[in-house]
Structure 1
């Protein structure tokens, strides 16, 4: 493990899962979140807006650039 998304993204990584990771250099990675198109199943054969519990905002695509404290080998 090179990074803990729950503790190393400030102020918080509010998403339920990452979607992609790219190595940009030996000390920098990019992590994109999986926003599920901003919707979830509403249990009634339809969709509703996906709200993030940590922020109470709609889940949106985002890319986080994370500087690693220890370089990759």
Structure 2
């Protein structure tokens, strides 16, 4: 994580997924964020995930009747 992103309470513009992937180790299919909107490192961060029917978890939860897994809500 960059030095700027580590400063507690730092206000920042939205960070898109390309830059976000430089900050965290997660990758598809577990990169469950599209944009970082706020960070108070190292305590918390707020982000946005744009969910579509094409998400991998919908294929098996449940076939023919896709439902967002409760642990992801």
Which range, TM-score by smaller chain?
0.3 to 0.5
Larger RCO, structure (CA 8 Å, separation 6 or more): 1
The structure with the largest strand share of the pair is 1
The structure with the largest helix share of the pair is 2
- TM-score, normalisation: structure 2: 0.33
